Structure 1
Amino acid sequence: MPHNLPHNALVVVADGAQAILLRNTGKDSSAIALREESRLTPKNLAEDGPAGARPEDQTPRQTDEATFGKQLAQALFQMKERQAYEALVLVADPQTLGQVRPLLHKTVEAAMVGTLAKDLTNHTAEEIAAILAK
């Protein structure tokens, strides 16, 4: 994780069921202050489906989480195309992070300044900022 998070960087905190989009409003790169911009939740899971082959013994919940991982990767690409961020930090539980990373477009990967394999979706913006500052 970068100790100096760029001003205006997008911090995405996700798990298999939601993603919280936070913006670093800190005035310089050493002062992290996160403000929630929006939340993403799975949409049309039954019609969409996950990317790639899935194990036969996968539970419906695991399939839904994989589908949301694909939707999150697509949303990050669409935001990058609209120039909604220059720097990105992706924070997710290890399973979600492992599902999303291979699906990220190269322009999204190029903007990524850090990742953290941790489930922080139940933390406040202030708590997340403190964890990222460590």
Structure 2
Amino acid sequence: MSDTKSIPQNTLVVVADGHGATLFRTHGVKDALTITEERKLTPHSLASEGPSGSRPEEQSPRQTDEATFAKQLATELFTLKQANKFEHMVLAADPQTLGQLRSALHKTVEASIALTLDKELTNHSAGDIAQIIRNAA
């Protein structure tokens, strides 16, 4: 028996990139873990909102939009956490988005992360994502 930690039942799974995020919920544990989609989040009001913090002058408009969405996603996750919508979270994002998200996440959200996947998974099926989580946990 390996000493891997198990992802708890009902864990929030966030699969994100700079253009959107999909929220899933886990069912079952260990080898029986599956996920179902709860909802999609898309960027909104990017031009009027802007990213948090200072941005390099050489940053492209697309990179600025991605940073703004990371901030929006971090805010949404904090809102869900405050409403007790999740206790544990799996966070999967490409390296760029993951870095932007980490700097924007509230400490209570960050403390909920049970597993981080430094991978682009937005075009994967729920079954594939569940398998990747099972293999990583």
Same fold (TM over 0.5): yes
- Identical residues among aligned pairs (%): 56
**Matching of residues 1-134 of structure 1 within 5 Å:** 3-26=5-28, 28-134=29-135
1:125 to partner: Cα distance: 0.4
Secondary structure of the residue aligned to 2:59 is: coil
TM-score under structure 2 length normalisation: 0.93
What CA deviation, in whole Å up to 9, does each residue of 1:54-98 have, x standing for no partner?
A: 010111100000000000000000000000000001000000000
Secondary structure of the residue aligned to 1:96 is: helix
Tell me the amino acid that sits aligned with residue 74 of structure 1: T
In the alignment, the residues of structure 2 paired with residue 106 and residue 37 of structure 1 have an alpha-carbon distance, to the nearest angstrom, of 24
Q: Does structure 2 conserve the Cα–Cα contact (< 8 Å) formed by 1:3 and 1:133?
A: no
Q: Does structure 2 conserve the Cα–Cα contact (< 8 Å) formed by 1:13 and 1:91?
A: yes
Tell me the amino acid that sits aligned with residue 111 of structure 1: S
Secondary structure of the residue aligned to 1:20 is: strand
In the alignment, the residues of structure 2 paired with residue 44 and residue 115 of structure 1 have an alpha-carbon distance, to the nearest angstrom, of 28
1:29 to partner: Cα distance: 4.5
Moved over 6 A (4+): none
Q: Does structure 1 conserve the Cα–Cα contact (< 8 Å) formed by 2:30 and 2:134?
A: no
> Structure 1 residues 128, 3: CA separation in 2 closer, same or farther (over 3 Å shift)?
farther
Unaligned runs of 5+ in 1: none
What CA deviation, in whole Å up to 9, does each residue of 1:13-35 have, x standing for no partner?
A: 00000100000012x35421100
Unaligned runs of 5+ in 2: none
Aligned residues: 132
